[in-house]
Amino acid sequence: MSIVVTGLSHHSSPVELRERFAFSEPQLPNALDLLIERGIADEAVILSTCNRVEIYAARREDDPSLGKSLQQYLCEFHNISETPKDAIYSYCDRQSIDHLFRVACGIDSMVLGETEILGQLKLAYKLAHTKKATGPLLNKTFQKAFQVAKLVRSETQIQRGSISVSSVAVELAESIFDSLKAQQVLVIGAGDTSEKAARALRSRGARSILVSNRSHDRAVALAAELDGQAIGYENWEKEFQHVDIIISSTAAPHYILTRNKLEGMLRQRGHRPLLLVDIAVPRDIDPGCNQLENVYVYNIDDLQTIAGQYLEQRKAELELCQHLIDAKRNELLDNIKVHPDKTNIGLFKQPAGS
């Protein structure tokens, strides 16, 4: 019997190539059907995300050409005649199981230790199972992968701490305030990073989001997406006394909030904590504001430093993660009788014009 994974990921190919191989949601059922009907695989699961496109397939008899057949199928399905050298990888048996376990645990992801991929993997498996495209081999393999992911989450610190700037901002807010449910957020400047931070705060329960931007139309559009309220750029200071968290990312060439200005405004708020997240370059907020009582200022370098520290902590957990994966992979190999010494790893290139 053979278990193979063939595909592309952010490790092997740029986004402009991955998007050519991506399966849309409506395409997936038919793609699974074709794999089985053509006899390419006895069992199959297709995973298609923004960072990877992979086919996990199994044959009940040994098939050393399965990886090559899957690559040809990928190219034919998407009408691609040639791919760059080493863009598509294939791993067989032991290595394919290792790869699946690493993907499920988030340690093969662009963001080390992220959890979104596990949900995407479960959805891909659920569709294949519903379509009766899986059988004994992949059912056992994927169920074990989900168990390993749970074990890694509970036994290691691979998911500890946030390693994106927007997530770090949210984590800081949660450390300052007892709960985000009562907090008012003001976004000044509707840039990409501030938008992500605002979305994350909203998802964690922030009471409401105010958006102020020089382009009022942009503020209105973002406020609508966040179920918030747009306010005129010249009026944001009038809302200050009600605000608990400010995320600022304007293109102003100077500070929009100085220490002297903030001191005067603080009298309106009493002694409530105030979190100022300055994502702008050049900075929007005078660093001297951090010296004021109950005021917490973090700029983009602060956030990236914290994210970097968390990333190093996650990297330190990789050895333990791999140890757990090795143990569970060997358990699975013993159970499904796949040859553990079978390496057969290949990187294949589709011949031009085929």
Distances (CA, A) of 138 to 40, 90, 128, 344: 15, 16, 10, 19
Residues taking part in catalysis: 50
Euclidean distance between CA atoms 264 and 225, whole angstroms: 33
DSSP of 243-289, one letter per residue? -SEEEE----SS-SB-HHHHHHHHTTTTT--EEEEE--SS-SB-GGG
Gap between the Cα atoms of 4 and 22, Å rounded = 19
Instruction: Give the strand pairing for 52-59 and 2-9.
Output: antiparallel
* CA atoms of 83 and 70, how far apart (whole Å): 14
Q: Please say whether the dihedral angle defined by the alpha carbons of residues 33, 138, 119 and 342, taken in this order, is positive or negative.
A: negative
Q: Which residue has the tokens 């019997």?
A: 1
User: What gap in Å lies between CA 120 and CA 113, rounded to an integer?
Assistant: 14
